[in-house]
Amino acid sequence: MAAAKPHLNLVFIGHVDHGKSTSLGRLLFEKGAIGEHIIRQFKEEAEKIGKATFEFAWVMDMLKEERERGLTIDISHKKMETDKFFFTVIDAPGHRDFVKNMITGASQADAAVLVVDASQKDDAGGLMPQTKEHVFLSRTLGIGQLIVAVNKMDAVNWDQKKFEDTKAQVEKLIAVVGYKKDDLIYLPMAGLKGDNIAKKSENLPWWDGPTLSDAIDMLRVPEKPTKLPLRLPVQDVYSITGIGTVPVGRVETGIMKIGDKVIFEPAGVSGEVKTIEMHHETIQQAEPGDNIGFNVRGVGKDDIRRGDVVGHTKNPPTVAKDFTAQVVILQHPSALTVGYAPVFHSHTAQVACKIVELISKLDPKTGNVLEEQPKFLKTGDAGVIKIEPTRPMVIEKVKEIPQMGRFAIRDMGTTVAAGMVVNITPAK
């Protein structure tokens, strides 16, 4: 197994039809993760049904079917090796209906490739809505590093000015969200033909920066939070013949070893870890960043569900009766007021939560209090609010376990706000 190389989780995000799946398929092909015969076969099949140029996109879309069949652990992920890293690649469909899954995908990633189409702008000539939404979400979900891949340069005649314009718009957006310059890499490319994916392109003579392949090798491995308590949000639960119940998820913090006594919260069931498996291989212990399947003695398939969190019985995950959080309102048609109960997405949990108090309104840039007990918070505002989940939910203080203390608030098919937990009243 490629354990000798550092392991990174990389998610591809961006607006629908901007070429994420195609660029990712092309990258996997160039890196030898997919054979030429498979691409040839896809190309023939795609042309037959009038979907010419979709052959690379099908690399990841083929996985979508596998995902639904839910056979093994690394279904929504693909393995890829570069000179420097061993990657687990996650493809996030860009359609707005999919944002729920994007949140799950992004919450498991160490870095993201944001694919932006150089030729497509909104009515006002700005970035497309999901481009903005995905940037906000990736920041909220704790993705520290971002590669901005300006795609479809062939559609704008390889024009350097078009690249610079798109880059400037993304830079403006990113300044609002709070990424540091050092955590960003920009590059032009054309995913379908493979321009600047793994090799420099003759069509981009003005570009002397990295290819997409170079850029992902420039990423840094985040420090693993192994000293923090064990937290593993459950993504799915399978029944596998001969093994039994196998919960699947990514270790966020701490270490899980075979023989550990663990508890699932808020389900409240506990047992001993019998086996741990990653990419079809048995491992003795799992560390932060590992996507694993594991079996716990005494825990049945119906005892636990997606959104439950695993911790050691000596330091169990926190189930919140209510919590106080700092939020930023990204886009809301009217305003957030007391009594509003949208869905909160945190790690793999999706729980409707009620806003029970608006404590203060803050200056988004400085964090200073502008108003105590405001009547409402509207788009662009920041504030501190008190929240009650409508059913038991695990969440942690961002100061104690940052990986488990962030959330997105969604309603009416869009992300309306994002935030982090500053205080919790535990339910147990």
Tally of domains within the chain: 3
Domain shared by 157 and 245, yes or no: no
Residue 342 and residue 345: Cα distance in Å, rounded?
A: 10
Domain stop point among 256, 285, 312: 312
Q: Which of 415, 342, 336, 347 is nearest to 135 (CA)?
A: 415
* pLDDT at residue number 46: 64
CB 7 within 8 A of CB 102: no
Read off the pTM: 0.63
Question: 303: how many CB neighbours lie within 10 A of its CB?
Answer: 18
Please check whether residues 324 and 308 belong to one and the same domain.
no
Do residues 48 and 166 share a domain? Answer: yes
CATH number of the domain that 304 lies in? 2.40.30.10
Chunked into runs of 10 residues, the chain (428 residues) has average pLDDT values of: 70 72 78 72 68 54 45 50 82 47 57 86 68 72 84 93 92 79 90 89 95 93 89 91 88 95 95 90 90 90 94 96 88 88 90 95 76 90 93 93 86 82 92
Pairing of strands 343-346, 320-329: unpaired
Q: Are strands 111-117 and 7-13 parallel, antiparallel or unpaired?
A: parallel
Q: Which residues pair with 261 in a beta bridge?
A: 272
Q: How far apart are CA 297 and CA 280, in angstroms?
A: 20
Of 217, 251, 269, the last residue of a domain is 217
Residue 179 and residue 117 share a domain: yes
168 and 20 within one domain: yes
Q: Are residues 132 and 13 in the same domain?
A: yes
Residues 329 and 352 grouped into a single domain = yes
Residue after which a domain boundary falls, among 189, 217, 245: 217
Q: Is residue 225 part of a domain?
A: no
Q: What is the pLDDT at residue 59?
A: 53
Do 115 and 12 lie in one domain? The reply is yes
Q: Are residues 79 and 22 in the same domain?
A: yes
Structure tokens belonging to residue 274: 């019998």
Bridge partners of 314? Answer: none
Assess if residue 223 is contained within a domain: no
User: 418 and 286 share a domain?
Assistant: no
- Residue 222 domain-assigned? no
Asked whether residue 302 falls in the same domain as residue 347, the answer is no
CATH number at residue 15: 3.40.50.300
Residues 57 and 156 in one domain: yes
Q: Are 212 and 274 in contact (CB under 8 A)?
A: no
pLDDT in the model for residue 192: 79
Which domain, by its residues, includes 269?
A: 232-312
In a domain, 224, yes or no: no
Task: Tell me how crowded residue 110 is: count the other CB atoms within 10 A of its CB.
Answer: 22
CB 263 within 8 A of CB 318: no
β-strand partners of 265: 309
